[in-house]
């Protein structure tokens, strides 16, 4: 059986508008949808496109079980992004507030990769071809 499936990660953050601005600036994401504001003044979801991939950001709402990495004491998920120039993307993310967790270097498994933590606690593996 073949299923037609698309997976769109939803990143839980304290401030979806601030997160959306970061992902647009740091990843070049395009905001493609923004839900109306909820009672607390935050959108319930903001959808983004980067190349052919989609992801969402939503506010942390503890009563729904939607917890941010800070609420959990760290991120339970690694988001991997493969790009032509991992160093350039890593530098761009860092210049917008991400922090290096593992430096981007040539790895023995045949990729150039490293890891950053975005300002909202989400962990990103940035990978590409060796150089």
61-105 confidence digits (pLDDT tens): 999 999 999 999 999 999 999 999 999 999 999 999 999 999 999
Question: Residue 3's pLDDT is what?
Answer: 86
Q: How far apart are the first and last CA of the chain?
A: 40
pLDDT of 115 over the 90 cut: yes
- Contacts for 113 with CB less than 8 Å, ≥ 6 apart: 86, 104, 105, 107, 125, 126, 127, 128
CATH fold of 10-128 reads: 2,3-Dihydroxybiphenyl 1,2-Dioxygenase; domain 1 (3.10.180)
Share of residues in the chain with pLDDT > 90 (%): 89
Count CB atoms within 10 A of the CB of residue 54: 17
Tell me the pTM.
Answer: 0.92
Domains of the chain, by residue range, sit at 10-128
Question: Residue 40's pLDDT is what?
Answer: 86
CA dist 125 to 17, 31, 32, 70, Å? 23, 22, 24, 19
């Amino acid at each position: 059986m073949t299923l037609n499936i698309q997976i769109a990660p939803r990143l839980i953050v304290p401030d979806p508008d601030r997160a959306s601005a970061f992902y647009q600036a740091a990843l070049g994401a395009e905001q493609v949808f923004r839900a109306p504001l909820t009672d607390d003044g935050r959108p319930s979801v903001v959808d983004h496109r980067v190349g052919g991939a989609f992801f969402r950001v939503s506010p942390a709402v503890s009563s729904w079980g939607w917890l941010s990495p800070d609420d959990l004491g760290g991120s339970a998920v690694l988001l991997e992004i493969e790009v032509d120039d991992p160093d350039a993307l890593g530098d761009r993310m860092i210049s917008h507030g991400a922090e290096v967790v593992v430096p981007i270097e040539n790895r023995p498994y045949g990729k150039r990769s490293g890891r950053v933590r975005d300002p909202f606690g989400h962990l990103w593996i940035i990978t590409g071809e060796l150089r």
